C-alpha cells in the first residue's frame, strides 16, 4: 500500500513514478527531459546550455534541479544555438579563412599572451616561433601558425623572416601598436611570398617586366612585358604572398600575413608592411616584385594606423641603381632605379594612387604591382576602417561565426 498520489521515484527511464489514487499500485508519467527529486518532470535537461532568451550575448545552463538555469558565460561576440557538429549553445567564435586553418579556433590556445615591446625578429623557420605548429598547403608555402591567448605588438619593429607565411591567431584581442615588416627586400621574398613568378625576364637590352598582382606590372624598357593581373586571393584557397619578378635580377614578392582573433577584436594603430622588393640593376635590369597579401579577420576590426602592400621599383639599366622596395605611401610609388651610362631608368612601383611605371629603354626594369589588404568580419559587426594611410584600397568580405 502507498499514499495516493505520492511521488515514489524517478525511474531509470526518466519517468515519474507515483502511487495510484487507490493507494494499491503505481503509475508512471513520461518526462521528455527526465524527472527530478521534487517529483515533477524537468523543464530542461540538466547540464544542457542555451542562449538566454532576453540576452543574445549570454550562455546559460540548465541546473541540476532540471527547472532553473545558471549563467555560464557572457560572450564578447554572440551566443549561437546548436550547430551540426556542436550540440550545445556556445559563445560564437570566428572561423579563420583558408581551409588548412579553418578549425584553429575550435579549441582555446595552449600558449599564453604574446607581448612585444621592442625591436625583434620572428623567424618562421624556427620551430619555437610557430606555437600553433606548421601547416603545409597543397598550392602554397607552409604556414607558421603563431597561436596565443592574446597578441600585442605594443611598440618596436617586428621583422618577419623565413620562407613560411605567417598566421597570427589569438583567442582574444590582437593589438598592433608597433610596426610589423613582412616585405620583400630587393631580390629576397617576404615570408610566404615569391612562390609564383610574373613578368618577362630581363635579356640583352630589354629590361625585365614588373610583377603583376592586383593590377598588371610595368613593362620593361625595350619591350619586356609586365606581368598580368593575378588571381584575387580567396579565403578557400592557399595563403600565399606576392609574385616575384622574373630572374635574373627580379625583385622579391611581398609576404603573406594573417591576423585572426577568434573571440575578440583586431586593432591596428601601428603599421604593417608586406610590400614587394625592388629589382636589381644591370645592363638589362630586373622588374620590381609585387606587393603581398595581408589578411585581417575578427568579429571586430579597427584600422586607424597604416597598412601597405605596394610594389617594388624596377632596377636601372646599364648597371645603374636598384629599384626601391615597396613604398610606405598610397600616393608615392617606390622609386625606380636610376640608370647607369647608356641605360634606362627603372619604373616606379605601384601604389593605391600610382600605377606601376614602365622602365625606360634600354634595359630599365618595370615597376611591380600592388598586392591585397583583405578584411573579414561577420555581418553583425562592420569593420572600422579609418587608416592614416592604406595602399592598396582595403577589400572587405564577410565570414560567418561558428
Distance between CA atoms of residues 312 and 210, nearest Å: 8
Compute how many other C-beta atoms are within 10 angstroms of the C-beta atom of residue 11: 16
Residue 276 in contact with residue 185, Cβ under 8 Å? no
- Supply the pLDDT for residue 214: 97
- Supply the pLDDT for residue 37: 79
> What cell was used for 125?
623557420
- Supply the pLDDT for residue 35: 87
- Supply the pLDDT for residue 217: 98
CB within 8 A of 107, min separation 6: which ones?
none
- Supply the pLDDT for residue 245: 98
Distance between CA atoms of residues 370 and 243, nearest Å: 10
Residue 35 in contact with residue 13, Cβ under 8 Å? no
Residue 338 in contact with residue 349, Cβ under 8 Å? no
The list of the chain residues with pLDDT below 50 reads none
14-67 tens-digit pLDDT? 898 999 998 899 899 998 888 887 888 988 888 888 888 888 788 888 898 888
Q: Which residues pair with 153 in a beta bridge?
A: 116, 176
- Supply the pLDDT for residue 66: 87
- Supply the pLDDT for residue 57: 84
130-142 tens-digit pLDDT? 999 999 999 899 9
Distance between CA atoms of residues 186 and 272, nearest Å: 18
Radius of gyration of the chain (CA): 29
| Whole-structure pTM value | 0.86
Distance between CA atoms of residues 341 and 6, nearest Å: 108
Amino acid at each position: 500500500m502507498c499514499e495516493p498520489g505520492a511521488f515514489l521515484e524517478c525511474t531509470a527511464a526518466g519517468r515519474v513514478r507515483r502511487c495510484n489514487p487507490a493507494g494499491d499500485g503505481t503509475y508512471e508519467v513520461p518526462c521528455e527531459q527526465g524527472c527530478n527529486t521534487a517529483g515533477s518532470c524537468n523543464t530542461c535537461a540538466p547540464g544542457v546550455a542555451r542562449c538566454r532568451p532576453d540576452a543574445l550575448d549570454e550562455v546559460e545552463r540548465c541546473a541540476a534541479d532540471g527547472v532553473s538555469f545558471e549563467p555560464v558565460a557572457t560572450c564578447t561576440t554572440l551566443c549561437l544555438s546548436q550547430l551540426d557538429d556542436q550540440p550545445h549553445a556556445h559563445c560564437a567564435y570566428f572561423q579563420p579563412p583558408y581551409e588548412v586553418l579553418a578549425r584553429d579556433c575550435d579549441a582555446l590556445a595552449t600558449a599564453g599572451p604574446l607581448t612585444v615591446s621592442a625591436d625583434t625578429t620572428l623567424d618562421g623557420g624556427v620551430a619555437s616561433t610557430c606555437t600553433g605548429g606548421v601547416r603545409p598547403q597543397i598550392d602554397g608555402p607552409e604556414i607558421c601558425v603563431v597561436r596565443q591567448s592574446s597578441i600585442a605588438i605594443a611598440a618596436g619593429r617586428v621583422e618577419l623572416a623565413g620562407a613560411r607565411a605567417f598566421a597570427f591567431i589569438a583567442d582574444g584581442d590582437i593589438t598592433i601598436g608597433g610596426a610589423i615588416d613582412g616585405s620583400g627586400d630587393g631580390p629576397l621574398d617576404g615570408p610566404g611570398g615569391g612562390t609564383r613568378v610574373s613578368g618577362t625576364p630581363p635579356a640583352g637590352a630589354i629590361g625585365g617586366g614588373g610583377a603583376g598582382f592586383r593590377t598588371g606590372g610595368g613593362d620593361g624598357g625595350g619591350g619586356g612585358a609586365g606581368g598580368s593581373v593575378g588571381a584575387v586571393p580567396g579565403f578557400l584557397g592557399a595563403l600565399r604572398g606576392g609574385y616575384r619578378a622574373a630572374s635574373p635580377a627580379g625583385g622579391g614578392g611581398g609576404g603573406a600575413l594573417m591576423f585572426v582573433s577568434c573571440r575578440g577584436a583586431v586593432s591596428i594603430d601601428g603599421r604593417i608592411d608586406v610590400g614587394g622588393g625592388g629589382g636589381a640593376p644591370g645592363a638589362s635590369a630586373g622588374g620590381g616584385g609585387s606587393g603581398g597579401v595581408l589578411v585581417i579577420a575578427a568579429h571586430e576590426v579597427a584600422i586607424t594606423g597604416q597598412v601597405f602592400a605596394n610594389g617594388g621599383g624596377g632596377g636601372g639599366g646599364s648597371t645603374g641603381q636598384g629599384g626601391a622596395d615597396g613604398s610606405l605611401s598610397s600616393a608615392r610609388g617606390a622609386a625606380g632605379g636610376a640608370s647607369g651610362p647608356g641605360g634606362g631608368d627603372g619604373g616606379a612601383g605601384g601604389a593605391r594612387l600610382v600605377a606601376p611605371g614602365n622602365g625606360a629603354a634600354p634595359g630599365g626594369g618595370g615597376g611591380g604591382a600592388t598586392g591585397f589588404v583583405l578584411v573579414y568580419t561577420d555581418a553583425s559587426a562592420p569593420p572600422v576602417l579609418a587608416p592614416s594611410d592604406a595602399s592598396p584600397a582595403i577589400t572587405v568580405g564577410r565570414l560567418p561565426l561558428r
